[in-house]
Amino acid sequence: MEEKTFQRIKELTELQGTSGFEEDIRSYMRTAITPLVDDVQQDGLGGIFGLRHAAADKPRVMVAAHMDEVGFMLTEITPRGLFKVVPLGGWNPYVVSAQRFTLKTANGNYPCISSSVPPHLLRGTSGQVKVEDILFDAGFESKEEALAFGVLPGDTIVPQTETVKTANGKNIISKAWDNRYGCTVVLEALEALQKETLDYTLIAGANVQEEVGLRGAKPAVTKFDPDLFFAVDCSAADDLTTTNGTFGHLGEGTLLRIQDPGMILLPRLREYLLDTAATHHIPYQYFVSKGGTDAGAAHTANQGIPSTVIGVCGRYIHTHQTMFSIADFDAAREMVIQVLKGLDASTIKTIVAGK
């Protein structure tokens, strides 16, 4: 991996923005996308996309990451100055406690930690934890002091983590790889395609609010009306104890998602992806998921949009620390670039027609 790419990953993953509060990531994406496209447009919820225009009668292809990461929204300040929250996105309650966060307010950002109960005080109890039971602590001594610092219900709390490489140089540890992976790939693909002539209009960028119900994809595909939709997203690895009968193994290539609760990969689209991988010797692995992506929202939008995911897997997603493979990222990036290079109006027509 080139140092430029690692630095881009580090910058994007260390940025903080949970669902509905993606402004820092959107600003980064706007700055990076603008010199690579003909124009940049934003939908009503805040998704941002760069367009490379073809003739009006040419098909339209959309490549979409999502900007948001899982986090929390502050719902109540207790008399002692602690915070009750609701999760934004899916959290395992057992990974929330005793972690460092950033409390983002209109007055500025403040360090914050999540509470934990010492084992001494759990004796005689069930020991079970719910997110709603975990308090967040920014060190304020009262509700009045928190309010004086500008803290209000509706503020967000986001993980704080440094992005680093593992000792062997083969993996990276970060937060928010779901889905700053997609943001990184979109930028790298646009750079790689700068000198390519495309036989379609390319719409490439990132949606908002994916982690809270695939909300951002819906206005985006309505606005841009693509003929094909490619989500670029990170999924959960399942390889800690075995790779026999599980999906998502670090180091085995990009994910070819064939089914999840919201999407079935259409035959002609699968055929195109397999041909692309074989032609360019791109390692891939089949993937079946219990969770969905923006492709699930896109493919039933408008009059129906053939959609798929070009993904990577990561261990421990939706936590402070995700581990992912540099080789998998390289494979996914190459897959996105070659898929977009290989598409033309005739191929898109065949995929959409399904015959």
Indicate the CATH number for domain 3-69+175-353.
3.40.630.10
Tell me what pLDDT residue 121 has.
Answer: 47
Domain boundaries, the chain: 3-69+175-353, 71-159
- 101, 340, 111: which is closest to 232 by C-alpha? 340
Tell me what pLDDT residue 117 has.
Answer: 66
Note whether 254 and 323 are within 8 A (CB): no
Number of Cβ within 10 Å of residue 79's Cβ equals: 8
Tell me what pLDDT residue 302 has.
Answer: 94
First to last CA, the chain: 39
CA 299/CA 303 separation, integer angstroms: 9
Query: Which residues in the chain come in under a pLDDT of 50?
Result: 120-121
Indicate the CATH number for domain 71-159.
2.40.30.40
Note whether 104 and 69 are within 8 A (CB): no
Token couple for 233:
């997203």
Q: Which residues are catalytic?
A: 210
Kind plus residue range of the DSSP H or E element containing 213 = none
Condensed to tens digits (0 to 9), the pLDDT of residues 256-281 reads: 999 999 999 999 999 999 999 999 99
| The pTM of the whole model exceeds 0.85 | yes
Match 């191929």 to its residue by tokens.
347
